[in-house]
Every structure is written in structure tokens, then in C-alpha cells.
Amino acid sequence: MEFVMNKLLGIMAAIDRGLAFIIKPVVVFISLAVAIMLAYGIFTRAVLNAPVFGLEELVLLGAMWLYMLGAVLASRERSHLSADFIQVICKNKTVIRVMHMIATLISLFMAFMFATWSFDLLAWGVSKGQTSTVLKLPWYFSQGSLFFASVLFIFYLFRDLISDFRDVCSANQAVAEAEKQY
């Protein structure tokens, strides 16, 4: 069983490296583009008194993708916000590992709910054909970021669940082996 989990985690690590290779430069590019567009928009509005129409639409589109890809990177590194109070009230490592796995299961369930909702929103946006006011960009360009991120959340949470399960199993196996020695 542990061999299968390790093999699956190895495959997921390879996929993760490929995703990170693509997502990190995209996040840098979008960050720079949003910063430049904001600065340019402020300059043209405040100094030249000639606002650039449609620039806010591009900033919004970039910000949506930037926010969601940033959340994906946080999920990838398990650096997203969490409230791990179990470690404060309990010192039993097995209980902590099990509670961590339960938290990952709950997060995975929520990610599936988010994916369902975001897919419905994306499908609705495609069917309605709504566009932005000035540049006539389809709204599903920004709505797609929600679905894309939710799929990657599921991927990373599934990876975390396998890792948590492996940790719980190996800890239980170590305890069982220690009990056999006595």
C-alpha cells in the first residue's frame, strides 16, 4: 500500500513541477502587467487628464487570474491560511496527524463544491455570451480562472490527502512495531 502511495505521490510531484514551471512565470508576468496598467491608468487620468477606456477591464481580468493562481501556489506549498489549534490543545502526534487528515478531507470536499459552482458559473457565462462594456471581452475569460484554480485545488488537496494518509499509516505501523518489541 505504501509503495502505491509513494508511486502516486511521485507522479503527482512530476505533474506539480510542470505546473509550477508554467504558473510561476505567468504569475510574474500578470503581476507586472497589472502594476504597469495601474500606473499607466493613474498617470493618464491624473496627469494627462485623458483616461484610457477599457484599461480597468484588463486590470480586473489580470487581477482575477493573479488572485486565483496565487491561491493555487499557496495550496501547492501548503502555505495558505489555516487554524491549527489542535497542536495547541493536544500533544499526541497520532491525533494531530488524524485531525490534519480530516481537515484535508474537509478542504477537498469544499474544493469539489467550489469546482462544481465555478463550472456552473463558467458554463452559464459561455451560454449567456456576456461581454465587458468597453473591450467586449467575454466574461468567461475571468470566470475561467475560478474553475481552473478549483481543479488545481483538488489536485493539490488530493496530493495532501495521500501524503497525510501515508503519514498516519506509517505512524500507526511504527507504533505497532514498537508494541511488538515489548
Q: How far is CA 14 from the centre of its chain?
A: 17
Task: With a cut of 70, say whether residue 77 has pLDDT above it.
Answer: yes
93-121 pLDDT tens trace: 888 888 889 999 999 999 999 999 999 99
Task: With a cut of 70, say whether residue 4 has pLDDT above it.
Answer: yes
At 4, list the grid cell. Answer: 502505491
In contact, 96 and 87? CB cutoff 8 Å? yes
Instruction: Say what percent of the chain tops pLDDT 90.
Output: 73
Cα angle 22, 59, 45 (rounded to 5 degrees) comes to: 145
pLDDT average, residue stretch 127-135: 92
Structure letter (DSSP) for residue 138: B
pLDDT level of residue 172 (50, 70, 90 thresholds): low
Residue 177 confidence (pLDDT): 67
18-68 pLDDT tens trace: 999 999 999 999 999 999 999 999 999 999 999 999 999 999 999 999 999
User: What predicted TM-score, i.e. pTM, was given to this entire model?
Assistant: 0.86
